[in-house]
Chain A
Amino acid sequence: MTEHWASRWRVPVIWGLLLLAGCLLMGQLEALFRWVEPDSRDVIFSRVDFLVLLGRHLLVVSVAAVLATLIGVGGAIAVTRPGGRDFLPLVAQVASLGQTFPPVAVLALAVPVLGFGTLPIVVALLLYGLLPIVRNTLAGIEGIDPSVREAARGMGMTSGQILRQVELPLAAPVILAGIRTSVTINIATAALGATVGSSNLGDPIISGIVNGNTAYIVQGAVLIALLALTVDSVFARLAPARRA
C-alpha cells in the first residue's frame, strides 16, 4: 500500500521539493545569476523572502479556488434542481460565453470597480474561476444517463440521496477537471496581480521588467512555473483517468 502511494505521488512530491528548494536556496545561486546579469548591483530578489511570496500566492489562489468551488458546484446543483431550472439556460450560456473573456481583461476591469490590492485579485480570480467549475459541473450532472436517476428513484432514494450518492459521485471526475482548469488559470492570473498592488511570486518578474533586471525575472518565472507544475501534477494524480 505504502509503495503504491509512493509511486503514485512521486511526481508531485518531486515538483514540490524542487519548488521548496528553489525558494530556500535561490540565494546560493548568486554566481549563476551574476553571470546572467553582470551589470546590476543586486542579482537576487531580496525585497521579500521567496517563501513569503510563495505563501501569499498560494493563499490568494486557494481562497479563490475554495470559494469558487463551493459557489460554482453549489450554483450548478441549484440550477439543475426543479426549483432553479428556470435559470439553467442562462447560467449555462454565461458559463461558456464568459470563458471567452481573457483573464487579463477581467483582472483589468476588476480594478476600476474594486480598487487596488489583494482583495480585488481574489474577487476577480473567484469570478473567473467560477466559469469552468460551473460549466463542468453542469456537464457532469446533465451528462448522467436519465435511466440511472430513474433506477435510483425506483430503489426508493430521496432527491437528496440521489444527489449525494448517485449524481455527485458520477459527475466527480468532470467537476474535478473543471476545478483543475480553474486553478491553473488562477495561478497564472494571480501572478499578474503584482501589477495591481498584490505582492506574490509575480513580484520579482514585474520588478525585473521595470528595473531591467533579467535575473529577477528568471527567479520569479522559475518559481511560478514550478508552482504551476506542482499543483497540476497533484490534480493529475487525483483524476488519473482523465487528461484534459
Chain B
Amino acid sequence: MSAVNGERGNTVLLTLMLVGLGAWWALPVVSVAPNRIVPGEARYAWEVAGPAMALLASLPMALAALSARSADPGWRSLGLVLLALAGLPLWLVLAVHQLIDPELPQARLGIGSGIWCALFVLMLALLDLRTRQRLSTGVSWLLMLTPLALLAVCLPLGLNRLALWQEYQGRADDFWLAIGEHLLLVTTTVGVSLVLGAGIALLMRRYPEVQRGAFAVLNFLQTIPSLALFGLLLGPLAWLANRYPWVDSLGISGIGWAPALLALVAYSLLPMVRNTFVALEGVSPGVIEAARGMGMSRLQIFFQVRLPLAVPVLLEGVRITTVQAIGLTAVAALIGAGGLGRFIFQGLGQAAMDLVLLGALPILVMAILADAVLGNLSRRLGRGEAA
C-alpha cells in the first residue's frame, strides 16, 4: 500500500479534507425558515450550537487530513471519512433541536451549501480510498449507503423538520406517482428503441447501403437539442389530433406523453443501433466459421452463437440509452409528460428550491443506479463469456 501512496502520503485525501474543512467553516451549513414562503436565514457552523460543537463536528475531517500525511493511512483514513459522513445527519438533528421552534409546525430547516460541499468532498474521498484500498464493488456500495441508512434512522429524531422532507410530505402521493410516470416513460422508451434499434441494426447488416444513411439520420437527430425536438413534434401532433378524431381518442395530442415518447425514442435510437450493430459485427469470424463447421444452420448460428456473444455490448447500449432517457424525461415534463421533472420546473417557477431538490435528487439516484446495475451486468456477462 505504501507503494501506492509514496513517501508524500495521500495528497489527494489531504487536499480533499482541507477543501472540506474550508467549506465547513466558510459556508453556511443550514438555513432556518419559519414557513414555506419566507426564504431561509443562513446559519454558519458556529452559530448552530456554539464554536465548540462545530469544532467537534469537524474533528474527523481534520484527523483524516492528518492521517493522510503518514505513509500508509489506508483503513484509518477510511474509518475517519466514514465517521465524518455519519456526522452530517447527526449534525442536522442537532441543528433542528437548537434552531427550530417546536411551537411552529411550519418551521423548517434547509441544508446549506457548507453541508452539501462537505458531503461532496467526503464522497470523493471515499471514491479515492476505494480505489487505493482496492475494495470490491459490493463493499464500496455498502459504504456509500451508510450515510443514507443513518439519515433514515435520524428521521424520527427530528429530521422530519428538514425542508426537503416537508416538501415530500406535502405531496407524497404525487411524488410516487411522478416516480412511476418517470419509470414508465423510461422503460417504454428503452423497450421500443431496443426493438426498433435491433431491427435497424439487422437491416444495416443485410443492406450495407442502409448503414451510411441511417447513421447520418440518427446522428442528425442526436444533435438537435431536446427542448427543440419536443417543441418541433408538438406542432404536427397537435395538428394530427385536430384533424383526425381517432388520433385524439388514443390520447395523442401536441402535449403529453406522445411527443415525449417520440422524441425520447428518436434520441435513444443512435446509441442503441450503434451498439447493436457493433456487437453483432464484433463477433469473431472464426467462431462463426466453427459453428458452421459443426453443421449449424444460419438461424441457429444467429440465435445460439452470434446473439449470445453480442449481449454484453448490446447491454452497454441499453445502459447508455437508459441513463440518457432518465435525464431527458425530466425535460419532457415541460411539455406535460409528467414525471419528476414536473417538481423541478414547478420549483424553479415558484423559487421553491427544496421542491427542485425533491425532483432532481431522485433523478440523480435513478441515473446512478441504472448506470451501476446495467454496467455491472454487462461486465459480468462479458467476463462469463471470456472465461
- Residues of A near any B CB (own CB < 8 A): 36, 86-87, 89-90, 93-94, 97, 100-105, 108-109, 111-113, 116, 184, 187-188, 191-192, 195-196, 202, 205-206, 208-209, 214, 217-218, 220-222, 224-225, 228-229, 232, 243-244
Residues of chain A contacted by B349 (CB below 8 angstroms): 195
| Contact indicator B131/A89 (Cβ below 8 Å) | yes
- Contact digits for B200-230, partner A, Cβ 8 Å, 1 yes 0 no: 0000000000000000000110011111111
Q: CB of B368 within 8 A of chain A? A: yes
| Contact indicator B345/A214 (Cβ below 8 Å) | no
- Contact digits for B335-358, partner A, Cβ 8 Å, 1 yes 0 no: 100000100110111010100110
| Contact indicator B235/A104 (Cβ below 8 Å) | no
Q: CB of B124 within 8 A of chain A? A: yes
The residue that A220 contacts in the complex, of B124, B127, B231, B359, with Cβ under 8 A, is: B231
Residues of chain A contacted by B356 (CB below 8 angstroms): 108-109, 111-112
| Contact indicator B11/A205 (Cβ below 8 Å) | no
Of all chain B residues, which has the CB nearest A206?
B334
A112 to B345, CA, bound (A): 13
| Contact indicator B357/A225 (Cβ below 8 Å) | no
The residue that A191 contacts in the complex, of B128, B227, B347, with Cβ under 8 A, is: B227
The residue that A225 contacts in the complex, of B128, B225, B328, B364, with Cβ under 8 A, is: B225
| Contact indicator B341/A104 (Cβ below 8 Å) | yes
| Contact indicator A225/B228 (Cβ below 8 Å) | yes
Give, as a whole number of angstroms, the nearest-CB distance from B172 to chain A. 21
| Contact indicator B331/A192 (Cβ below 8 Å) | yes
Give, as a whole number of angstroms, the nearest-CB distance from A110 to chain B. 10
Q: Is the interface of B mostly helix, strand, loop or mixed?
A: helix
| Contact indicator B363/A209 (Cβ below 8 Å) | no
Residues of chain B contacted by A224 (CB below 8 angstroms): 224-225, 227-228
For this complex, 20 residue pairs linking A to B, each with C-beta atoms less than 8 Å apart, are A36-B235, A90-B128, A100-B371, A101-B327, A101-B364, A102-B327, A102-B330, A103-B327, A105-B344, A105-B364, A108-B347, A108-B360, A111-B356, A187-B225, A191-B227, A195-B349, A208-B231, A209-B335, A220-B231, A224-B225
| Contact indicator B359/A108 (Cβ below 8 Å) | yes
The residue that B225 contacts in the complex, of A94, A214, A228, A244, with Cβ under 8 A, is: A228
The residue that B227 contacts in the complex, of A36, A214, A221, A244, with Cβ under 8 A, is: A221
| Contact indicator B330/A188 (Cβ below 8 Å) | no
The residue that A90 contacts in the complex, of B113, B127, B344, B353, with Cβ under 8 A, is: B127
| Contact indicator A104/B331 (Cβ below 8 Å) | yes
Give, as a whole number of angstroms, the nearest-CB distance from A91 to chain B. 9
Give, as a whole number of angstroms, the nearest-CB distance from B359 to chain A. 7
Q: CB of B311 within 8 A of chain A? A: no
Give, as a whole number of angstroms, the nearest-CB distance from A65 to chain B. 15
Q: A86-B10, A108-B359 are in contact. Are A217 and B235 (CB under 8 A)?
A: yes
Residues of chain B contacted by A184 (CB below 8 angstroms): 223
Residues of chain A contacted by B262 (CB below 8 angstroms): none
Of all chain B residues, which has the CB nearest A205?
B231
The residue that A214 contacts in the complex, of B10, B254, B359, B368, with Cβ under 8 A, is: B254
Residues of chain B contacted by A208 (CB below 8 angstroms): 231
Residues of chain A contacted by B363 (CB below 8 angstroms): 102, 104-105
- Contact digits for B1-21, partner A, Cβ 8 Å, 1 yes 0 no: 000001010111001000000
| Contact indicator B367/A102 (Cβ below 8 Å) | yes
A229 to B254, CA, bound (A): 24
Of all chain A residues, which has the CB nearest B222?
A184
| Contact indicator B223/A112 (Cβ below 8 Å) | no
Q: CB of B95 within 8 A of chain A? A: no
Residues of chain B contacted by A222 (CB below 8 angstroms): 228, 232
Q: A104-B327, A111-B353 are in contact. List 6 more A-B contacts (CB 8 A).
A: A86-B11, A93-B131, A101-B367, A112-B353, A222-B228, A222-B232
Residues of chain B contacted by A94 (CB below 8 angstroms): 124, 127
9 closest pairs, A vs B, by CB? A102-B327, A221-B231, A188-B225, A112-B353, A221-B228, A224-B228, A108-B360, A217-B231, A100-B371
Of all chain B residues, which has the CB nearest A208?
B231
Q: A184-B223, A214-B238 are in contact. Are A111 and B229 (CB under 8 A)?
A: no
| Contact indicator A214/B341 (Cβ below 8 Å) | no
| Contact indicator A100/B227 (Cβ below 8 Å) | no
Q: CB of B310 within 8 A of chain A? A: no
Of all chain B residues, which has the CB nearest A196?
B348
Q: CB of B323 within 8 A of chain A? A: yes
Q: A108-B359, A218-B235 are in contact. Are A243 and B219 (CB under 8 A)?
A: yes
Give, as a whole number of angstroms, the nearest-CB distance from B364 to chain A. 5
Give, as a whole number of angstroms, the nearest-CB distance from A32 to chain B. 11
